[in-house]
Structure 1
Amino acid sequence: MEGKSKEAVETNKDIGQLLLSIQKAFDVLVEKRTDFEAKDVKEALQGSVKTQTTLLSFVDEHISELSTHEGIDMSKSSVWTYRKIRKNLAEFIGEKYRLTDLAFGQLTEPFISDFHHYLLDEKGFSSGTITIYVSLFKKMCRIAFERGLCKNLLFAHYRVGTPRVTTPKALSMSDFIKIRDVELPEDKPRLSVSRDLFLFACYAGTAFIDTVSITKANVKVLEDGDKWLVYNRKKTGTLARVKLLPEALELMAKYEDGARDTLFPLLSTNRVRIDLITICKLAETSKTYSYHSGRHSFASLITLEAGVPMETICKMLGHKDVKMTQRYARVTQKKLFEDMDKFIAATEKDFVLAL
């Protein structure tokens, strides 16, 4: 594929890996010193993959082994962590490679870096969680190598870094307006879809996986007579309830399709991530934002700045603990000034300047 875009680079990298695998299969047949045809190369290539141990099948086996130690020298929460790693690996492989599994021989060094950024940018996990997930993943790869299930010790030199508290990247009002109003190329309609999915996250606080999964059944009219989005988060299973703003309802109406049960068309996280980079460049924003920034923006720009209490935002986002919400809901300068003005107005009558 021509060009220097990230999509072109990734596609060419995948093509290069495939060509290398084909060359290896060809060399094996040449070493046998017998006549062979193109179909023999194909069968050798497919067979070499089929006979290898696959990553997820090994992870399943490893989790099964750990489960036998649960309550003895392995806590229930530790086993649960391995299951979460397995779930996220499967989702990552499905979205990036369009496959249900990968053989160890198909893994390359960039895999772990791509997985790391997927957990950070698309899943929105904290640095501490990512450190645990990546470290345990490396440990499983080392065990697979020690058991002779893969030829190379994969990712031995990859370093995650020290966990640190990060400040979520919510949009400034200026950048939000730029992204919302920027004119997008008419010959690239998918950019508009990606922007609308992102704006919905700003208006409703949904993570990407929830945005593309929620259905018409998740839209409910509650006691106040208004429409609410009521759903269980894919990441944690926690119930989230958020009153739908007029802007969110407009986006839902725009993509309403009787042939589709979901509220929005399905795009991959990788596709939307690349589109957002393009959109931010066209909008000339102060920085490049990930999809998860929309969820952060709902917490601080849309709700907290409008005076919604932190505890209420917690319920809207489907957080189990208000401490997580406090990381999302950043107090903006405008909100700080307004709160100080209210405080001064409420107390100035109680203070008398003594001369």
Structure 2
Amino acid sequence: MKINLSLLFYLKKRKSYKNGPVDIYMRVTVNGKRSEITTGRSCEPEKWSISAGRSSGKTEDSRTLNAYLNDLKTKIYEIHRQLIQKDEEITADIIRDRFLGKEETPITLVSVFQEHNRKVEILVGSEYTSGTAERYRTSLKHTINFLEWKYKVSDISLKKINHQFISEYDFYLRSVRKCNNNSAVKYLKNFGKIIRICLANEWMSINPFLNYKHKVKPVEREYLTEKEISTIASKAMVSERLQQIRDIFLFSCFTGLAYIDVKQLKRDDIIQGIDGEKWISIKRQKTNIPSRIPLLPTAMTLIDRYGDNQVCEITGTIFPVCSNQKMNSYLKEIADICGIKKQITFHIARHTFATTVTMLNGVPIESISKMLGHTNIKTTQHYAKMLDIRVSTDMAKLKAEVNYQPINFNPKIVRPKSADHGRQ
């Protein structure tokens, strides 16, 4: 972008001026926007040339004054040259502040990101979850690594973040970090919050995400069939630890609770529901959204099984839940024991509840969404995809309930006779 710079020295008379020397000001104009700076000198109006912007006198004082003004002009153009060389933003106000020694420390991306993450860490447990804080820590780490990879710097001015920056960051995540589409989009979504903070504080004037078009692609959710659930439930485990992992996983299959909600589940979270039966009543740790789930007999049996567990008595929880990492590791072992080829993780239990346990048994998706604690039914639809077996069941009901009469198709083909053929 071409930067047009002009400089003008002029006399600025005060409103109360009557006679005598007048203060000399320097006006810096960049792309039509002005900024004024006092020179600290003055001149008699009759000794001043408006067209030249200098003293018109022939005395030694006039020559000294003009030399001083020329030095100021040189300094202004040197500041302009340095800004161009460093590829920094150039405005009349920035040049003025540099000249007066009032140069502001530029606000940088990493410093804003770090301050955001600091506040998130403080609010973990009240407004944010530990998982959210971890995601922002990871996003910051990727951002710093990207700056070093692309620009060979540890931080960057907000003024340099544009659409090209976002495109290069997206490319870095997909190529260097080997992120799939959804992971790359989610990291940039976290990064986008930092950009929105900068825009709200007017540290940036243009949103670099304006033309960023990538979207999260639908992912086929894995779930267990009724037969696979039965196989896991009936299989004898080789250790007490595996049995506990199996039980906790099955409990999630029949309640739809996420790992962290099962881990934190307490006896006080089991209430008497509107129907007089036992219900789970919690607020989801991830979203703080209320979730109320009627307890199926299988789930209640699993709760009773751990009523006198020592670990549960100490922690006050219903189940002795280990870390999510260990849980998933044990689940792979259980899958091998049961001959199940699917990549089983604890989160598959939530998908299984939404599909096999509820949807395939005719529970409306609105009720499933309520039990899962979703705020948007579209989120539930990602868990509970329309399954072939459900489609088959629905169509069978349609055939049974609607008296469709078979249609008699005439197999004959009757070709119209041409006019000439008719006259023969």
The answer to whether the Cα contact below 8 Å between 1:200 and 1:248 also exists between their aligned partners in 2 is yes
Which structure carries more helix by proportion?
Answer: 1
Unaligned runs of 5+ in 2: 1-110, 156-172, 183-216, 410-424
CA distance in 1, matches of 2:373, 2:119: 33
Q: Which of 154, 157, 161 is residue 146 of structure 1 equivalent to?
A: 154
Q: Which of 219, 229, 232 is residue 176 of structure 1 equivalent to?
A: 229
TM-score by length of 2: 0.50
Report the alpha carbon displacement of residue 324 of structure 1 after superposing the two structures with TM.
1.0
Q: How does 1:318-333 map to 2 (within 5 A)?
A: 318-333=373-388
Report the alpha carbon displacement of residue 331 of structure 1 after superposing the two structures with TM.
3.1
- 1:159 aligned partner, one-letter code: K
Partner residue, 2:353: 298
Q: Which of 313, 333, 342 is residue 278 of structure 1 equivalent to?
A: 333
CA distance in 2, matches of 1:161, 1:136: 18
Report the alpha carbon displacement of residue 338 of structure 1 after superposing the two structures with TM.
1.4
- 1:324 aligned partner, one-letter code: T
- 1:300 aligned partner, one-letter code: T
Q: Which of 371, 387, 412 is residue 316 of structure 1 equivalent to?
A: 371
Report the alpha carbon displacement of residue 309 of structure 1 after superposing the two structures with TM.
0.3
Q: How does 1:1-355 map to 2 (within 5 A)?
A: 61-63=115-117, 87-88=130-131, 135-140=139-144, 146=154, 157-163=176-182, 164-185=217-238, 188-257=239-308, 258-348=313-403, 351=405, 353=407
Q: 1:215 to 1:338 in 2, by over 3 A?
A: same
The answer to whether the Cα contact below 8 Å between 1:175 and 1:286 also exists between their aligned partners in 2 is no
The answer to whether the Cα contact below 8 Å between 1:59 and 1:140 also exists between their aligned partners in 2 is no
The answer to whether the Cα contact below 8 Å between 1:218 and 1:231 also exists between their aligned partners in 2 is yes
Report the alpha carbon displacement of residue 170 of structure 1 after superposing the two structures with TM.
0.7
- 1:207 aligned partner, one-letter code: A
CA distance in 2, matches of 1:260, 1:189: 19
Partner residue, 1:38: none
The answer to whether the Cα contact below 8 Å between 2:242 and 2:330 also exists between their aligned partners in 1 is yes
Q: 1:313 to 1:278 in 2, by over 3 A?
A: same
The answer to whether the Cα contact below 8 Å between 1:228 and 1:241 also exists between their aligned partners in 2 is yes
Q: 1:233 to 1:347 in 2, by over 3 A?
A: same
> Which of the pair has the greater relative contact order for Cα pairs under 8 Å at 6+ separation?
1
Report the alpha carbon displacement of residue 161 of structure 1 after superposing the two structures with TM.
2.1
Which structure carries more strand by proportion?
Answer: 2
- Aligned pair count reads 236
The answer to whether the Cα contact below 8 Å between 1:226 and 1:243 also exists between their aligned partners in 2 is yes
CA distance in 1, matches of 2:321, 2:236: 23
The answer to whether the Cα contact below 8 Å between 1:184 and 1:191 also exists between their aligned partners in 2 is yes
CA distance in 2, matches of 1:259, 1:354: 74
Q: 323-332 or 227-236: which moved more?
A: 323-332
Report the 3-state secondary structure (helix = DSSP H, G, I; strand = E; otherwise coil) of the residue aligned with 1:320.
coil
Q: 1:88 to 1:334 in 2, by over 3 A?
A: same
Deviations 1:295-324 (A, max 9, x none): 100000000111100000000111111111
The answer to whether the Cα contact below 8 Å between 2:248 and 2:321 also exists between their aligned partners in 1 is no
Report the 3-state secondary structure (helix = DSSP H, G, I; strand = E; otherwise coil) of the residue aligned with 1:242.
strand
Report the alpha carbon displacement of residue 59 of structure 1 after superposing the two structures with TM.
6.6
- 1:340 aligned partner, one-letter code: M
CA distance in 1, matches of 2:370, 2:119: 37
TM-score by length of 1: 0.59
RMSD (Å) for aligned C-alpha atoms: 3.3
CA distance in 2, matches of 1:64, 1:279: 40
The answer to whether the Cα contact below 8 Å between 2:113 and 2:140 also exists between their aligned partners in 1 is no
Report the alpha carbon displacement of residue 89 of structure 1 after superposing the two structures with TM.
6.9
Deviations 1:18-64 (A, max 9, x none): xxxxxxxxxxxxxxxxxxxxxxxxxxxxxxxxxxxxxxx99753435
Report the alpha carbon displacement of residue 335 of structure 1 after superposing the two structures with TM.
2.0
- 1:146 aligned partner, one-letter code: S
- 1:88 aligned partner, one-letter code: G
Greater Cα radius of gyration, structure 1 or 2? 2
User: Quick one: percent identity of the two aligned structures?
Assistant: 29
Report the alpha carbon displacement of residue 263 of structure 1 after superposing the two structures with TM.
1.0
The answer to whether the Cα contact below 8 Å between 2:263 and 2:321 also exists between their aligned partners in 1 is yes
Report the alpha carbon displacement of residue 88 of structure 1 after superposing the two structures with TM.
2.0
CA distance in 2, matches of 1:215, 1:141: 42
